Structure 1
Amino acid sequence: MALSYKARRRWSLVILLIGLPAYIVAAISVVNLFDRPAIWLELLIYVGLGIVWALPFKFVFKGVGQADPDAPQDDGDA
C-alpha cells in the first residue's frame, strides 16, 4: 500500500529529526568499538554509512519537496 503525500512528509520529518541522529550515534559507536583506522579509511566508512542509511527510505523521500499532487489546482481566475 502506497503512502499518501502527507504521510510521506510526516515520515520524512520523523526520519530526519529522530532516525538520522540515532543512526549517526549508532554508526560512531560501532566504529569506536575498534581501534581508530587510518583517516582515509574512517572517512570512507562514514561516507559509505551515510549513503546506506538513505537507501531503505528512498520511497519515503521521493517527491516530498514538490507540491502536493492531490491538492486542488488553483486556476488563477481571481
Structure 2
Amino acid sequence: MKIVLAHLGGYLAWDNLETLLRYENVYFDTAYLLGNIEDKLILRLIDKIDINKVLFEKDFPFRDRKEKREYIQKITRHKRKFNL
C-alpha cells in the first residue's frame, strides 16, 4: 500500500520527517506549500525526501500542477544561490 502525506509530511511538523523517510511506501505531496513557504525550506525538505517521492498538488490542486512542477524544477536548478 502506498501512503501519500500532504504538505511534504505535515505543515510545520517537519521535525519528525526522518521517521517517515524509513518507509519505502510513503510519498510526499507539495499541496499548498509552493509559494507559501520559503524556497530554501522547500529545497531542504525535498533533498531529505528524494525528489522521486514528491508528488505535485495531489492533496488538493490549489494551482496548476504543471506550473508547480516547473516551479520546483526552477528552484532546484538555482539551488546554489541558497547555499545548500
TM-score by length of 1: 0.28
Point out the structure with the larger strand share. 2
TM-score by length of 2: 0.27
Structure with more helix by fraction: 1
